[in-house]
Amino acid sequence: MRHRFKDIIWLAGRDYRNEWQMSSFFIIALAAVLGPMMILYGLKFGIVGSMLNSLIEDPRNREVRPIGSGRYDSAWIEQLQAREEIDFIVPRTRAIAATIDLKSQAAKRIVSVEMIPTGLGDPLLKARTIPKSLQQIVLSEKAAQRLKVKPGDEINGSLSRRYKGRSERVHVTLQVVDVARHASFTRDGAFTNLNLLEAAEDFRDGRAVPAFGWSGTKAPNDERTYPSFRLYTRSIYDVAPISDALQKLGIEVNTRAADIDIVRSMDQNLSLVFWLIALIGLIGFSFSLGASLWANVDRKRKELSVLRLVGFRTGEIIWFPVLQSAFTAFFGWLTASLIYLAVSFTINGLFMTQTEDGETICRLLPNHFLVALLLTLGSSIVAASLAGYRAASVEPSEGLREI
């Protein structure tokens, strides 16, 4: 039986090659349907995929910012940090106390910067050195340019306050351990250890800071509370759940969830449109191919009946149109893939200057090509089943009449 099946494959292939004109028309017809669908999906996957990647790569889209001020202690912060959706969280001190004046030897001006608490795992300082001590800072790109400093340089920081009716100013030597990307913080800023922010707040509140030798009243023994926090989720899809959870606790927050929802909705809607177009195209081509194969079986009833006469069984004869349909599916898919590659190369070349490095307007992954091949083979084999049913009805006696 295996030998006869090889014969069927050989006969179907020879017949397919002998009628190369008709076979070529079928291949071109399939490529004309499949090629544009691959290009359409490549555009959808490339454009929407780039938008989703931009959302995912930009940590600011994962930020959940509380509106107003509250009272959050360390235990509450740690409890929130234990949630699996949270990637990074650190408390913040009062904004009015979170500024420091910086002066470098290379620049004449004094730059007042905002201090941002940071720590290990800060998404805004990815691939950057994290301040580990009180006197280490990471400057924003803008602040570093204004101060004319680079990593490793030392600068002077100063804080002022009004204490017991007189103005006081203290100085501290700070080391610039790194410079943040411009996108991380576009204003004049300094990422610092939380302890430095606490020291600045204590100093401005008139309390003593033993770590720097700053005088003042003794700090109360009450547990410290913070008015706000910096929070980033693990992915953009965790923003909405964390936002909802905080709002249930009475904490109003601000997020970019609306932008995320727009892109996700666009992805879903474009996927629906694509699959509707693909379904219509595949159904139309399947019916056309099925009708053509049916007619081809009728045209070759004499040849098929002779095969039955020489010992081929009904199940083996059915494979004749099915194999020819598979040939059409494979070569049509191959032609459509070549068309896609040529068109996508042209499209990506046209938009090369308008996209960032690594981004493409039209893109398909290897598994997309494999799915397209499997769908094409599947629809073609289903279409050929009608012709196979027709071929099964051919009787050996029809061949005797021709002898």
pLDDT, position 271:
79
Residue 375 to residues 282, 283, 382: CA-CA distances in angstroms? 9, 11, 11
DSSP lists the bridge partners of residue 389 as none
pLDDT, position 201:
94
Hey, what are 375's tokens? 């769908």
Q: What is the pLDDT of residues 188-207, one digit of tens each?
A: 999 999 999 999 999 999 99
Q: What is the pLDDT of residues 38-53, one digit of tens each?
A: 888 888 888 777 777 7
This prediction has a pTM of: 0.67
pLDDT, position 309:
55
> Between 3 and 67, where is the model more confident?
67
pLDDT, position 6:
73
Task: Tell me the three-class secondary structure of the chain, residue by residue.
Answer: CHHHHHHHHHHHHHHHHHCHHHHHHHHHHHHHHHHHHHHHHHHHHHHHHHHHHHHHHCHHHHECEECCCCCEEHHHHHHHHCCCCEEEEEEECCHHHCEEEEECCCCCCCEEEEEEEECCCCHHHCCCCCCCCCCEEEECHHHHHHHCCCCCCEEEEEEEEEECCEEEEEEEEEEEEEECCCCCCCCCEEEEEHHHHHHHHHHHCCECECCCCECCECCCCCCCEECEEEEEECCHHHHHHHHHHHHHCCCCEECCHHHHHHHHHHHHHHHHHHHHHHHHHHHHHHHHHHHHHHHHHHHCHHHHHHHHHCCCCHHHHHHHHHHHHHHHHHHHHHHHHHHHHHHHHHHHHHCHHHCCCCCCCCCCCHHHHHHHHHHHHHHHHHHHHHHHHHHHCCCCHHHHCCC
Q: What is the pLDDT of residues 295-331, one digit of tens each?
A: 666 666 666 566 555 555 655 666 777 787 888 889 9
Q: How confident is the model at residue 379 (pLDDT cuts 50, 70, 90)?
A: confident
> Between 159 and 33, where is the model more confident?
159
pLDDT, position 370:
93
Rounded Cα distance, 386 and 354, in Å: 50
Mean pLDDT of the chain: 83
Q: How confident is the model at residue 31 (pLDDT cuts 50, 70, 90)?
A: confident
Is pLDDT above 70 for 376? Answer: yes
Is pLDDT above 80 for 292? Answer: no
- Of the segments 183-192, 249-258, 308-317, 372-381, which one has the largest average pLDDT value? 183-192
Q: What is the pLDDT of residues 152-179, one digit of tens each?
A: 999 999 999 988 888 999 999 999 999 9
Average pLDDT over residues 177-187: 92
Q: How far is CA 377 from the centre of its chain?
A: 30
pLDDT, position 7:
67
User: Tokens 């694509």, residue?
Assistant: 274
Q: Which residues contact 332 (CB under 8 A, 6 or more apart)?
A: 26, 27, 28, 29, 30, 31, 34, 376
